[in-house]
Amino acid sequence: MEEEAVTEEEAVALKRFKGVILARGYHYPQRGDDHTLLRFLRARALDIRKAAQIYGDYVKWRRDNHIDSLLQTFAFPELDAVLAAWPQNWHKTDRFGRPINIQLISRLRIQEVFHATTEERLLKRALWVWEELHEVKLPACSKAAGHQVGRATIIVDLKDIPLGTLTNAHGRRVLIKMAQIFSRYYPEYLGRLIIVNAPAAFKGERAGRFAQRGRAREPPLLSRWLLQVSPRLRELFNRTMERQS
Contacts for 208 with CB less than 8 Å, ≥ 6 apart:
none
Task: Report which residue type is found at 151.
Answer: R
* Residues 86, 87, 91, 93, CA torsion sign: negative
Please give the Cα distance from 191 to 2 (Å, whole number). 13
With contact defined as beta carbons under 8 Å apart, do 73 and 67 qualify? no
b/e string for 203-217 if b means 16 or more Cβ within 10 A?
Answer: eeeeeeeeeeeeeee
In sequence order, what are the beta bridge partners of 155? Answer: 102, 194
Confidence at residue 158, expressed as pLDDT on a 0 to 100 scale: 85
What's the mean pLDDT in 30-47?
A: 95
Beta-bridge mates of residue 157: 196
Encode 82-105 in three state secondary structure. HHHHCCEEEEEEECCCCEEEEECH
Say which range, 32-36, 41-45, 87-91, 165-169, has the weakest mean pLDDT. Answer: 165-169
Collapsed DSSP state (helix, strand, coil) of residue 237 = helix
Give per-residue pLDDT as tens, 130-153: 999 999 999 999 999 999 999 999
Q: Which of 78-87, 164-173, 211-220 has the lowest mean pLDDT?
A: 211-220
> How far apart are the C-alpha atoms of 58 and 130, rounded to whole Å?
14
SS (H, E, C) 6-53: CCHHHHHHHHHHHHHHHHCCCCCHHHCCHHHHHHHHHHCCCCHHHHHH
pLDDT exceeds 60 at position 204: no
Q: Residue 95 corresponds to which amino acid?
A: R
pTM (2 d.p.): 0.83
User: Distance between CA 245 and CA 242 in Å, rounded?
Assistant: 9
Q: What integer best gives the mean pLDDT of the chain?
A: 84
